[in-house]
Structure 1
């Protein structure tokens, strides 16, 4: 155990669980001000207080002494949010992302996860962004048709994806440009199409905004353009977009296009305007009269017919750890000094597992080879 208490870890555990300084202070019979000083490194807690904090925050006492490498700079976090998102919600999402990153880093030491394969492009124009999206499709051998599963695309390129179920709808998505790229989505929107767009948006940050601060109008607009171009490549979309009925939109055709490409009607209209297939007036009319006034501003009628995609890589990795190394999720949690209750904040689909032995802990298995073998056998 390191000598010095790491207040940053206390802050991360608190924010991850959406707890205030007052709530933590009340739980351990300390003032808000004292907990803040401990987080800032101005005060060192006693061993008894450390045990009390650990119990309340669902971590092992050793968690507070972990260095876990250098904390990532702000430009490593791509945080997509609405302008009205409260700071506390952003902090909670970012804290979950950081603790998940540490969890993934441990797994990365035990398994050979897919090699990271996100290219890097400099963009300065819409056409640059279109080409970047097309080159990604080519690199990942996706063709120019509908993408069946965007999460699988991101994971095959080396990212680890997870989902937050317990954050506000005001938090859209979060990605982390670390040694192992991470994407976090929010399924509370109620629309698989919108989550797929969020995923493509975060992929856009990875390939266009390496080492750049994001969240401003320019980078968000570029990532949105990339998402549209990635999900609806211009050459194919121009041919697939349904012909107008006179000057009116062909709504049955748009619905059919949505179901085939799993992209929202709003995004289809935006892309059509972007590529000059409809006018600004037709676009506004479609949004206002075709969607908003019919109660489809945030959730469209067909959304319930399109299932949410689920992260696969992290849960497959945990399964391999359990079956091949005898290392259960409980054991992994123990190794990163977190309790299962805390893990469920950033791994909401995690099932409780029985603790198994550490007899094969030193071995390293190639997850990519195992996945390929299973694919060939299926």
Structure 2
């Protein structure tokens, strides 16, 4: 059983750090960081012109601020309010800037670079926020198997790696009830980004504490589970590898399907054909049991030689004709699957500790709420030890 636990040493640390940051802020404008203005603006999803209009200045002035020109104190506070951060945010270096080497970002032609920059900026701020949160709360230890010595050349190699992962985590051969609960139980944070269109699916920040960031505009529960499996695949298969190309994306897709439903289970349970036709009622029941999409079922059946490529394409055409593209028949029969570790960690804190986390991370509560969908309820502090997996029923 894994626990979220309040750090006993956090109490003695929390009162001085914020004061030091504020003293640095008002003592020396030479430490002003224009790149942090740009980071906050991108995370907010605002253009330079948007910020300029909110402040009643020109976009050229905002550009100067981002190049390192320090604003007056009054303008600084207005800028911080617009971007949802504290003034001190602009006077701190970026300790862990994100780039392509730290992120597994799914390639998508329709995605713009501006959109990618927005999500990566949010991810960088979220990473710093979680690092600060971990001063107060102990998260589960990261527990990923080392598969670096296993071959990764063929589809059967990925099947074997997925099977080895299931053995390593003692998951057996049955359905995984909650992909979110499972992934969080092995020390990976899952967060949702808000107000981002569906050209962004999901991506992973592969730092000391991996973070899977998923777009909550995607409504399909099966797509959500598949996305989490895909990002887990990157973490398992692609340590130190720049991803986003067709090969690594296909490998992560294959891992996701093989991990969620092992091939021996799939072969034993995939519905038999009704003559030359797919049995759609049986396929829906199969989908609901394993919590995978009908499309994934057909794709995997073809991959394992249970149906022909022509029959798979016929199945896809049928689904398209019924309007089952982003959602499918049977989705409403599958229980929800959503992350809870970060919300629970925040809920464990008393008001003073929560305020200290925000001030040290230099972001305001509305930034966390609006960008990551996490509200901090004002509740009395409970016992110091709280089980994060009272519902640990993912296997």
Alignment partner of 1:93 is 2:119 = yes
Aligned position for 1:307: 335
| Structure 1 spans left out of the alignment, 5+ residues | 358-364
Alignment partner of 1:275 is 2:275 = no
CA contact (8 A) 2:194 2:372 kept: no
Partners of 1:97 and 1:135 in 2: CA distance = 30
Aligned position for 1:361: none
Partners of 1:174 and 1:284 in 2: CA distance = 28
Q: Which moved more, 1:343-352 or 1:258-267?
A: 343-352
Aligned position for 2:372: 347
Map residues 4-153 of structure 1 onto 2, 5 A cutoff. Answer: 4-41=31-68, 43-80=69-106, 82-122=108-148, 123-153=152-182
| Structure 2 spans left out of the alignment, 5+ residues | 1-23
Partners of 1:36 and 1:373 in 2: CA distance = 47
Partners of 1:250 and 1:286 in 2: CA distance = 10
Partners of 2:54 and 2:191 in 1: CA distance = 30
Aligned position for 1:181: 210
Partners of 1:58 and 1:35 in 2: CA distance = 16
Which protein, 1 or 2, shows the higher relative CO under an 8 Å CA cutoff with sep ≥ 6?
2
Partners of 1:194 and 1:81 in 2: CA distance = 17
* Superposed CA offset, 1:170-225 (max 9, x none): 21112100111101122322211000000000000111111221111111111101
Runs of 4+ in 1 over 4 A off after TM superposition: 372-376
CA contact (8 A) 1:162 1:346 kept: no
Map residues 203-222 of structure 1 onto 2, 5 A cutoff. Answer: 203-222=232-251
Shift of 1:236: 0.9
Partners of 1:374 and 1:144 in 2: CA distance = 23
Alignment partner of 1:195 is 2:224 = yes
CA contact (8 A) 1:171 1:186 kept: yes
CA contact (8 A) 1:81 1:170 kept: no
Shift of 1:265: 0.3
Distance 1:40-1:227 versus aligned 2 partners, 3 A rule: farther
Query: May I ask how many residue pairs the two structures share in their alignment?
Result: 360
Aligned position for 1:360: none
Shift of 1:331: 4.1
Secondary structure of 1:236's counterpart equals helix
Partners of 1:255 and 1:315 in 2: CA distance = 33
Alignment partner of 1:259 is 2:284 = no
Shift of 1:229: 0.6
Partners of 2:198 and 2:283 in 1: CA distance = 26
The TM-score normalised by the length of structure 1 is 0.89
Partners of 1:152 and 1:372 in 2: CA distance = 9
Map residues 146-161 of structure 1 onto 2, 5 A cutoff. Answer: 146-161=175-190
Shift of 1:344: 1.3
1:286 to 307, 311, 315: 315
Partners of 2:273 and 2:311 in 1: CA distance = 10
Shift of 1:81: 5.1
CA contact (8 A) 1:191 1:304 kept: no
Aligned position for 1:295: 323
Shift of 1:373: 9.5
Distance 1:33-1:212 versus aligned 2 partners, 3 A rule: farther
CA contact (8 A) 2:33 2:91 kept: yes
* Superposed CA offset, 1:2-60 (max 9, x none): 6422222212211122110011122233332332243243x333333322211211111
Secondary structure of 2:272's counterpart equals coil
1:333 to 349, 353, 358: 358
* Superposed CA offset, 1:130-180 (max 9, x none): 122112111111111100000111101101111123211121112100111
CA contact (8 A) 2:341 2:388 kept: no
Aligned position for 2:387: 371
Shift of 1:374: 5.9
